[in-house]
Amino acid sequence: MIETALDLSTKPALALRSPDVVMRLQRMGASFPTRLSFLRSLIRRLAASGVTVHRPVWSMDDEGFGDAVYTLNLAGHDYSLVAFSCPLPDDQRSDRVIAEAWDTSYVLYDGIPDASEIDRLRENAPRQEAGRFGPRDLVLSRANKSVRFFEHVADSLAQGRQPDRQRLGEVGYLLRTTAVYGNGKFGIADRFVLAEREGLDGPFQAEMLTVWLIREFSHDLVEHVARRRAPETFVPLAPDLRRHIGVGNSTGLGMAPFLANHPVLLNNWVLARETALARVRATPHLPMPALKRLADLWRQAALHLDQWSVGDNALMPRIQRLRGEWAEAEGWIDPAKLLTIPYPVATLLDRSQSMSLDFQELLAALAIELAGADNDDLADSMAATREGALQPGMSLASLGGLLRDHYAWAMAIAFDAPAETVQFWYVSEEKLEPRLGRRTAEPGAELESPLDIARQVQRLAADLGDNKGAQTVATFLARFPQHRHAVRRIQTTAAAPYAEIRDNLLSDRCLPIDMLRCKLAFFGASKFDPRSDRWTRITLFQGAPTAGEIRAGETDDCWLPVLS
């Protein structure tokens, strides 16, 4: 792809969308991946570094069971994906986090493991949470086969033909991960080990690298099985089909509270995206090459929507409406008109306000894609080293001012209405994973997790009352220690406009799927396929360059994958 630089002028002044607009659950649940998504950032880093992936270990039997190791060097550090493939009875195959066995399991290892380390990981990786891990183990993951599709691809290649393109487009992956654990879970390395390492210092870069290498393994595994079945007639995957096969993922409720529990990190993600959008919005004119690029992206999005079908009764009508809106609005991008309009991207974005939230957010993602590399610098601002500390010396007058300025949305919620407290969040004893209960129908409300941000703010405001003046936060919390969490949060988010989800997470209107989609879009996920309002399947790295293509000089061009 040849990217066309835009004149990202800052005149008029950059206007970011209001948090009152952006940070609502329904809009968050309409998120699409952008060029700033984490897997896109990783691909650019790998391409810029000219990364070459080696496979020093491939010990697989005829059925594809055994060990493999993939290694690469990124910014002076060696990393290895150690992969294990095991027989798995069908009655043990489950996408649920409570499963205890999987088709494949993985560790991203810091360095290149020797035979003794591979033996150690072979003993522990298939056990996942029940295994024992150490500081050189960076990421822990597991995946199940999409059995029918895996067999279809293996049989097709063994018989000398490519897999059915329609079927490939409908599924899009051979393996589906059910967890990708990082950041010190189960004894693996803490985040600080990678926080200062070039290449993996951004959000979830180690996890994305793990998934990208799992994708490479999945391609090799299915070809290995096919070759062993019929070496005389075997053919490898065609390059375009190989590129379109990503990695599936099943993500459930456990991921949803992450956004509420990491407000500064959430702010940094959204602020980067909104800054990128504001820069493009402030573009005074689009030259003809950029207008042609706009038309190409519009057609790519249309084809992606045509190839995106789900069984969910809530999402599929939205997709169908979006397809119609997108086709209807294609006349908006007439080059003859846009060439003469000042601030054409701003005009398009303003015009989209009459359309659905899905249309608005897809157009915003397209606008960011249009700017190409001009916004890539913002990816460096998306990490957060810490979430902020309590400021005990702050006056109560200042605290009250922050509450008024940034939490009017929380004060407006009527918690005396039963519908506003129907749900409660808690952590399951069995798997130590977040869960969501119905307050009047399920036990455990006394163990509620503190995700009731708006309610905490209201209770704090009630106890503040007129007790402001020259008193400090320290003296107030000595009397009301239950408000420490809320006070620290208000202080922390004062300089982070996009830190809070501006909705009530206890309400019967709160759908966890909206939080899941927001976070997964920042990962770079596509083809959202909800199975309820609490878990979804997605595809990662579909359309992204493979290891061989990066070695050959391919770069990042995988916004919305399509199979042409």
pLDDT (tens, 9 = 90+) of the chain, 564 residues, equals 333 345 444 444 578 999 999 999 999 999 999 999 999 999 999 999 999 999 999 999 999 999 999 999 999 999 999 999 999 888 777 766 667 889 999 999 999 999 999 999 999 999 998 899 999 999 999 999 999 999 999 999 999 999 999 999 999 999 999 989 998 888 899 988 888 899 999 999 999 999 999 999 999 999 999 999 999 999 999 999 999 999 999 888 888 889 999 999 999 999 999 999 999 999 999 999 999 999 999 999 999 999 999 999 999 999 999 999 999 999 999 998 899 899 999 999 999 999 999 999 999 999 999 999 999 999 999 997 677 889 999 999 999 999 999 999 999 999 999 999 999 999 887 767 788 889 988 888 888 999 999 999 999 999 998 666 668 999 999 999 999 999 999 999 999 999 999 999 999 999 999 999 999 999 999 899 999 999 999 999 999 999 999 988 877 778 999 998
Return the closest-CA partner of residue 348 out of 361, 337, 332, 336.
332
Q: b/e for 232-257, b at 16 or more Cβ within 10 A?
A: eebbebeeebbbbbbbbbbbbbbbbb
105 in a domain, yes or no? yes
Categorise residue 166: left if φ over 0, alpha if ψ from -120 to 50, beta otherwise: alpha
172 in a domain, yes or no? yes
Q: b/e for 499-532, b at 16 or more Cβ within 10 A?
A: bbbbbbbbbeebbbbbbbbbbbbbbbbbbbbbee
Please provide residue 350's backbone torsions phi and psi, each rounded to the nearest 5 degrees: -65, -40
Q: Name the 3-class secondary structure at 311.
A: coil
Both structure tokens of 218: 């999945």
Return the closest-CA partner of residue 218 out of 241, 240, 247, 243.
247
Q: How many structural domains is the chain composed of?
A: 1
302 in a domain, yes or no? no
Q: Is the dihedral of CA 169, 317, 266, 133 positive or negative?
A: negative
205 and 168 Cβ atoms separated by less than 8 Å: no
279 in a domain, yes or no? no
Please, what is the end-to-end C-alpha distance for the chain in angstroms?
A: 16
Q: Is the dihedral of CA 356, 310, 102, 107 positive or negative?
A: negative
185 in a domain, yes or no? yes
Exposed, middle or buried, 91 (CB in 10 Å: 0-12/13-18/19+)? exposed
Q: What percent of the chain is helix, strand and coil (3-state, nearest 5)? A: 50, 15, 40
State the residue for tokens 């997709």.
319
Both structure tokens of 464: 């503040």
Return the closest-CA partner of residue 73 out of 110, 117, 114, 118.
110
Residue 306 has a CB neighbour count (10 Å cut-off) of 14
243 in a domain, yes or no? yes
Please provide residue 497's backbone torsions phi and psi, each rounded to the nearest 5 degrees: -65, -25
Range of the domain at 109: 41-252
Q: Name the 3-class secondary structure at 427.
A: strand
State the residue for tokens 């195959």.
93
CA 215 – CA 220 distance, rounded (Å): 9
CA 157 – CA 235 distance, rounded (Å): 5
pTM, full prediction: 0.93
CA 274 – CA 364 distance, rounded (Å): 9
218 and 245 Cβ atoms separated by less than 8 Å: yes
